[in-house]
Structure 1
Amino acid sequence: MTAFSHPDDFAGQTQPLRAAAARVLQAVEDGQSLAQCLPLGHASITPQEKPELQALCYGTCRWYHRLDAELAQRLKKPLKKSDRVIHQLMLVALFQLRFSQQASYAVLNETVEACRALGKPHLTGLVNGILRAAEREGEPEPTEPAVIYSHPAWIVAKLRHNWPDHWQEILAANNTQAPMTLRVNADQGSREQYLQWLTDTGIEAKPTELAPWGIQLAKPVPVERLPGFGDGAVSVQDEAAQLCTTLLDLAPGQRVLDACAAPGGKTCAILEHCPELTEVVAIDQSAARLPRIRENLDRLCLSATLKEADAADTGQWWDGEPFDRILLDVPCSASGVIRRHPDIKLLRREADITPLAGIQLGLLESLWLTLKPGGRLVYATCSVFPQENHRIIQRFLRQQFDARLIGPEVSWGMDTGFGRQLLPDSQAHDGFFYSVLERSTQAPGPPIKNV
Structure 2
Amino acid sequence: MSTKTSTGAHSRAAAAQAIHAVLEQGQSLTQALSEYGDHLSAEDKRLAQAISYGVMRYLPVLTAKVSGKLDKPLKGKNQIIQSLLLVGTYQLFKLRTKDHAAVSATVEASKLLKRKALSGLVNGVLRQVLREAPARNDAGERELESTQGVNHPRWLKDKITAAYGEQAESVFAANDSQPPLWLRVNQRHTNVASYIDLLKQHEIEAVADEQAKDAIRLTKPVPVNKLPHFEAGWVSVQDRSAQLAADMVAAQPEHRVLDCCAAPGGKTVHLLERTEFQTPLIAIDVDEQRLERVSENLYRANLSCDVICADVLDIDSWWDKQPFDRILLDAPCSATGVIRRHPDIKWLRRSSDIEQLVELQQSMLERLWPILKPGGQLVYATCSILPEENSEQISRFLGQHSDANLVSIDANRPMLQLLPGEHHGDGFFYAKIEKLT
Q: For residues 286 and 146 of structure 2, what CA distance do their matches in structure 1 show?
A: 43
Structure 1 residues 80 and 268 mapped into 2: Cα distance closer, same or farther (>3 Å)? same
**C-alpha distance in structure 2 between counterparts of 1:130 and 1:280, whole Å:** 57
Aligned residue runs from structure 1 range 46-85, under 5 A: 46-85=41-80
257-266 or 35-44, larger mean C-alpha shift? 35-44
C-alpha displacement of 1:145: 3.1
* Cα gap change, 1:144 to 1:370, in 2 (>3 Å): same
CA distance in 1, matches of 2:127, 2:8: 27
Alignment correspondent of 1:145: 148
Match of 1:158 in 2: 159
What is the rounded CA distance, in whole Å, between the counterparts of 2:329 and 2:396 in structure 1? 16
How far does residue 286 in structure 1 lie from its aligned partner after superposition?
Answer: 0.5
Matching residue of 1:224 = 225
Corresponding position of 1:420: 416
In the TM superposition, 1:18-167 aligns within 5 A as 18-29=12-23, 30-138=25-133, 145-147=148-150, 150-167=151-168
In structure 2, list runs of 5 or more residues that go unmatched. 1-6, 135-142
The corresponding residue for 1:363 is: 364
> What's the counterpart of residue 436 of structure 1?
432
8 Å Cα contact 2:147/2:169 also seen in 1: no
- Residues 233, 96 of structure 1: alpha-carbon distance in 2 compared, 3 angstrom cutoff: same
| Corresponding residue number in structure 2 for 1:404 | 405
Alpha-carbon distance between aligned partners in 1 of 2:346 and 2:273, rounded to the nearest angstrom? 34
CA contact (8 A) 1:404 1:438 kept: yes
**After alignment, is 105-114 or 334-343 more displaced?**
105-114
Please list the CA deviations of residues 273-330 of structure 1 after superposition, one character each: whole Å capped at 9, or x if unmatched.
1113422000010010111111111111111100001112111111110000000001
In the TM superposition, residue 14 of structure 1 has moved relative to its aligned partner by 11
* Offset, 1:126: 2.4
Asked if the contact 2:245–2:267 (Cα under 8 Å) also holds between the matched residues in 1, the reply is yes
Structure 1 SS opposite 2:166: coil
Matches within 5 A, 1:179-190: 179-190=180-191
Match of 2:139 in 1: none
- What letter is aligned with 1:434? Y
Other structure's SS at 1:404 match: strand
DSSP-derived class of the 2:207 partner: strand
Runs of 4 or more above 4 Å deviation? 139-144
Which deviations, in whole Å up to 9, do the C-alpha atoms of 1:359-386 show, x marking residues without a partner? 1111111111111111000000001111
1:91–1:141 distance in 2 versus 1, CA, 3 Å: closer
CA distance in 2 between partners of 1:195 and 1:141 (Å) = 35
Whether the 8 Å contact between 1:20 and 1:44 is mirrored in structure 2 is: no
- Whole-angstrom CA distance in 1 between matches of 2:350 and 2:384: 14
For the residues of structure 1 that align with 2:255 and 2:41, how far apart are their CA atoms?
A: 50
Partner of residue 373, structure 1? 374
2:208 maps to 1:207: yes
Aligned pairs (5 A) from 1:304-383: 304-383=305-384
Contact 1:309/1:316 (8 A) holds in 2: yes
- Equivalent position of 1:10 in the other structure: none
Aligned to 1:270: 271
Give the deviation of 1:111 after TM superposition: 1.9
Give the superposed CA RMSD: 2.0
| DSSP-derived class of the 1:251 partner | coil
Conserved 8 A contact 1:14-1:46? no
TM-score, structure 1 as length reference: 0.89
Structure 1 gaps, min length 5: 1-12, 442-451
Shift of residue 35, structure 1, vs aligned partner: 1.4
What displacement does 1:107 show?
2.1
Amino acid at match of 2:111: R
> Residue by residue, what CA displacement relative to the aligned partner does 1:82-109 show, whole Å, maximum 9, x if unpaired?
2110000000001011111122222222
- The amino acid that maps onto 1:131 is L
Distance in 1, Cα, partners of 2:214 & 2:144: 44
Aligned partners of 2:148 and 2:8: how far apart in 1?
A: 39
Per the alignment, do residues 141 and 257 of structure 1 end up closer, same or farther by CA in structure 2, a change over 3 Å counting? closer
Partner residue in 1 for 2:391: 390
SS for the counterpart of 2:77 is: helix
Deviation readout 1:230-267 (Å, 9 max, x if unpaired): 22211111101011111112112110000000011100
Give the letter for the 2:296 counterpart.
E
Cα 1:427–1:109 change in 2 (3 A) is farther
Identity %: 45
- Contact (CA 8 Å) 2:19, 2:52: kept in 1 or not? yes
What is aligned with 2:259?
Answer: 258
Residues 144 and 427 of structure 1: is their aligned pair in 2 closer, same or farther, counting only changes over 3 Å? closer
**How many correspondences in the alignment?**
422
Deviations 1:174-211 (A, max 9, x none): 11111111111112232222222222222111111210
Output the CA distance in 2 between the equivalents of 1:243 and 1:142.
33
Query: Alpha carbons of 1:87 and 1:232: their partners in 2 closer, same or farther (altered >3 Å)?
Result: same
Mapped to 1, the partners of 2:389 and 2:435 lie a distance apart of: 21
Q: Give the structure-2-normalised TM-score.
A: 0.92
